[in-house]
Amino acid sequence: MTRRRTDTLADAVGLVTLGFGVVLTIMPRRSAVALGLGDRPALARAVGMTDLVVGSGVLAGRPRWPWMAARAALNLVLTGCYAAEASRPDGNRRARAGAIAMASLIVVDATLAVALAAQRDNEE
């Protein structure tokens, strides 16, 4: 993957992460319900604040790869949260979809973290 492409992807990931961070932090109850996390506003706000930090790091941090790896780790935690919500007796379908989405994002974020790290290593 070219340096330009990885930077463009990292910028997009950072911006999306910041966007989610703002919404989750400002409207945690509505966001939690809409995203399938149930009535867990404290979790939504915590994720939102973490997204604000990680998104800022992805955009402005140098090197960028540790921030992208942190995002993959956050998505791993979120996969567990969604899986726990999905296993409730009411069978939250949004939570199941959220678990699948987060698991997919782990792969994307980890792959981008590796690509960013490899490019940094090649520059040194």
pLDDT in tens, 20-68: 999 999 999 999 999 999 999 999 999 999 999 999 999 999 999 999 9
Question: Tokens 């979809």 identify what position?
Answer: 97
Q: Is the peptide bond before 28 cis (omega within 30 degrees of 0)?
A: no
pTM for this prediction: 0.92
**pLDDT confidence band for 121 (50 / 70 / 90):** confident
- 59 contacts 52 by C-beta, under 8 angstroms: no
For residue 82, the model assigns a pLDDT of: 96
What are the pLDDT digits (tens) for 93-112? 899 999 999 999 999 999 99
